Amino acid sequence: MLRKKKEQPNRLKISNDTRLLFFLPVILTIIGLFFIFEASSISAYREFGDSFFFLKRQAIWFILGLFSMFSLAVFDYRRLQYFAFPALIATIGLLILVLLPGVGSSVSGARRWIDLGIISFQPTEFAKFSVILYLSSWLLHKQKQRFLSFMMLMTFILALVMIQPDMGTTIILFSLFILTHFLAGEPTRHLLALVPVAITGFLILVKTSPYRMRRFLSFLDPNVDTQGISYHITQILISLSSGGLFGRGFAGSRQKYQFLPEAQTDSIFAIIGEEVGFLGSILIIGVYLALMYVVYRAALNAKDRFGFLLASSTFALISIQILVNLGGMVGLIPLTGVPLPFISYGGSSLLVFFALMGIVINVSRK
């Protein structure tokens, strides 16, 4: 007599894509920690008397990021719809607070940080998270005559960011709004009408600001003022070109001796290119491409529309930010001060990207 097989309890199967969604951001962050130390050890010792200052702070944010990723990976992403509107209101409140003297910290003429003493953070980074969450929830159901509301919300948030001023994040958020609207299947005729408006707005912003005008001219001709407005891009190009095919080797960077501005943040890829060369840089870009592929698959295989919008918007955000950062590094687009996801120094950015990856893992697991 055949025995009945004992039923095994249902166990959560973790796919290879889900594993990659976890491990690839962790690998990129570990690479980032190494090069943050490489790029900042000299300046950190001179400024704070501790070569590990920036490394230790980023490591703390890394731990917080892992916690947020694990939490959102197990929390049912469909219930995030209930938090979409409160998250948006909280973000708008923070974007207003950062503009207030005594609340927002001013660095180099830009008021972008809220300093709580123990930690400081950028509300604009959390704006990326809340915009993805809110738009994915809002565009979930087909509604007529809502493009005007969409435009009003986008204009209001972009205006708050631009007042700081933060041109780079404004471009990122504008692109995120447009792509999420497109991914939701909304009429493209509205988006096409925005093209001349966006170009006109960009030209007005450049024309009305002498600093942005000089930055734009330095993009068109990096040799226009190599000791002034073109100094940053000139040092980046020197760093990348001196790396050659194989690089100077680990700890071999010369630009990190305070020649290159923002070496551990927005310009960290220049230090990477200098030390590991063209081949090492291509390898890191390959890791990014692998990450984007598995995020794309998670969006494609999402079981519902909300999961698709969350994962595809995350794909759009990471892709745009990588392109804007690396495009600025090689002179394809103007430098805008956008961090490289998972690698650049910046706790707010790291925390937000890990939180978004947690949601994508959640979508993938379902």
- Whether 129 maps to a domain, the answer reads yes
- Whether 334 maps to a domain, the answer reads yes
* 230-264 confidence digits (pLDDT tens): 788 888 888 888 888 888 888 878 887 777 887 88
- Other C-beta atoms within 10 Å of 72: how many? 19
From edge to edge, which strands make up the β-sheet containing 120-121? 104-107, 110-115, 120-121
Give the C-alpha separation, 50 to 124, whole Å: 29
Phi/psi at 24 (5° precision): -65, -45
What separation in angstroms does the CA of 4 have from each of 10, 94, 255?
17, 61, 70
Domain region containing 285: 16-365
Residue type, 32: G
- Whether 7 maps to a domain, the answer reads no
Give the C-alpha separation, 239 to 198, whole Å: 33
**Which pLDDT value is given to residue 335?**
81
**Which pLDDT value is given to residue 108?**
62
pLDDT-derived band at 11 (thresholds 50, 70, 90) equals very low
**Which pLDDT value is given to residue 58?**
94
- Whether 254 maps to a domain, the answer reads yes
- Whether 226 maps to a domain, the answer reads yes
Indicate the range of 149-158, 254-263, 306-315 predicted with least confidence. 254-263
- The residue among 6 and 364 whose pLDDT is bigger is 364
State the total domains in the chain. 1
Q: Do the Cβ atoms of 140 and 75 come closer than 8 Å?
A: no
Residues linked to residue 123 through DSSP beta bridges, in sequence order: none
Give the C-alpha separation, 136 to 296, whole Å: 16
Q: Do the Cβ atoms of 25 and 357 come closer than 8 Å?
A: yes
Q: Is 165 exposed, middle or buried (0-12, 13-18, 19+ CB in 10 A)?
A: middle
* 176-224 confidence digits (pLDDT tens): 999 998 888 877 777 777 778 778 887 787 777 777 777 777 777 777 7
Q: Do the Cβ atoms of 358 and 68 come closer than 8 Å?
A: yes
- Whether 11 maps to a domain, the answer reads no
* 51-67 confidence digits (pLDDT tens): 899 999 999 999 999 99
- Read off the pTM: 0.90
